[in-house]
């Protein structure tokens, strides 16, 4: 319960700070009062701001395309057994992933270090390819949204990514200097052409259209 409260508090306030950075820019028009699914307008286009790390499910889809073990933790468990690295198989996957990453990243054995470098490079390559061609990710983010919160609002996704340690990406949400630099540069240079922003996606054989864009904050 304590961890849940702390995480909720952190996510709420860092999201407010990030939203305020957008609203301070001259190109952005803040909403007056609360408007459902609208945080601000950019060039008269309403946007709902979504701040998120790189989606685990999308990473798994790209690993499947590369014919790798779909879950990263499965690859690390297999390698740990090969290199005789002990781990607690009773741990849940999220905690075990962090345990194994710590074990591999801190190892001084060259063959273990080589494996981990390749593991990190695979992650980084998937992320960088997505940055270059983000439309597949945008469709995925709409199409994989939970049914309880389903809507087709215009969305601007801000995705924070620590390319050296994906599990630490959440920490970038508090890096005000980095965030302001990236957001200001984005707003100063991005063309919000509606034809370019229009995204077509589908759920349950129903087709939808939204204006959507993504800003990656990479470190």
Confidence class of residue 31 from pLDDT cuts 50, 70 and 90?
A: confident
Element at 119 (helix H, strand E): helix 110-132
Q: Mean pLDDT over residues 28-37, rounded?
A: 83
Supply the pLDDT for residue 5.
Answer: 86
In this predicted model, which residue has the larger pLDDT, 155 or 13?
155
- Secondary structure E strands in 23-182: 28-35, 38-42, 45-53, 155-161
Under 8 Å CB-to-CB from 119, ≥6 apart: which residues? 72, 75, 76, 79, 104
Q: Mean pLDDT over residues 98-111, rounded?
A: 95
Task: Please state whether beta strands 155-161 and 198-203 pair in parallel, antiparallel, or not at all (unpaired).
Answer: unpaired
Say what the pTM is: 0.91
């Amino acid at each position: 319960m304590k961890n849940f409260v702390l995480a909720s508090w952190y996510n709420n306030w860092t999201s407010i700070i990030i939203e305020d950075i957008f609203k301070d820019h001259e190109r952005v028009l803040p909403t007056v009062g609360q408007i459902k699914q609208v945080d601000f307008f950019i060039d008269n286009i309403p946007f709902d701001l979504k701040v998120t790390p790189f989606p685990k499910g999308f990473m798994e889809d790209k690993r499947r395309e590369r014919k790798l073990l779909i879950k990263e933790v499965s690859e690390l468990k297999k390698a740990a057994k090969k290199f005789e690295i002990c781990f607690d198989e009773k741990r849940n996957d999220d905690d075990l992933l962090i345990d194994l990453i710590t074990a591999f990243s801190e190892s001084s054995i060259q063959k273990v270090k080589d494996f981990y470098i390749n593991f990190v490079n695979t992650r980084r390559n998937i992320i960088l390819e997505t940055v270059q061609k983000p439309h597949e990710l945008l469709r995925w983010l709409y199409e994989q949204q939970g049914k309880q919160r389903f809507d087709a609002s215009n969305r601007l996704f801000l995705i924070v990514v620590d390319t050296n340690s994906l599990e630490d990406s959440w920490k970038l949400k508090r890096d005000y200097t980095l965030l302001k630099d990236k957001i200001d540069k984005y707003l100063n240079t991005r063309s919000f052409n509606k034809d370019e922003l229009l995204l077509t996606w589908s759920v349950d054989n129903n087709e939808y259209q939204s204006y959507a864009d993504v800003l990656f904050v990479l470190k």
